[in-house]
Amino acid sequence: MNQRLQDLSEQSIIDAIEANAREFLLTLGRLEGREERDESAIQWIIGGAPSSTIRKKQE
């Protein structure tokens, strides 16, 4: 989602947050070279979990 949100209704904001989170997670998988599946009802990345891009906070 690369456009500014014009509709500031609660549902529109929720939809935008969910779309952003979805694209973020798909992008992480793509950057790691994972296999991507895109079907009409669902899209996902096949790979290891958790992502090597997400690291535990050092104490």
Q: Do residues 47 and 30 lie in contact, with contact meaning Cβ atoms separated by under 8 Å?
A: no
26 pLDDT above the threshold of 80: yes
The model's confidence at residue 22, banded by pLDDT at 50, 70 and 90, is confident
Q: Is the model more confident about 54 or about 48?
A: 48
- Give the residue from 36, 33, 22, 32 showing the smallest Cα distance to 53: 32
pLDDT average, residue stretch 37-44: 83
- Collapsing DSSP to helix, strand or coil, 8 comes out as coil
pLDDT at 24: 87
Q: Do residues 3 and 10 lie in contact, with contact meaning Cβ atoms separated by under 8 Å?
A: no
Q: How far is residue 32 CA from its own chain's centroid?
A: 14
Cα dihedral 50, 55, 57, 59 sign: positive
The model's confidence at residue 5, banded by pLDDT at 50, 70 and 90, is confident
Query: Is the pTM value of this prediction over 0.85?
Result: no
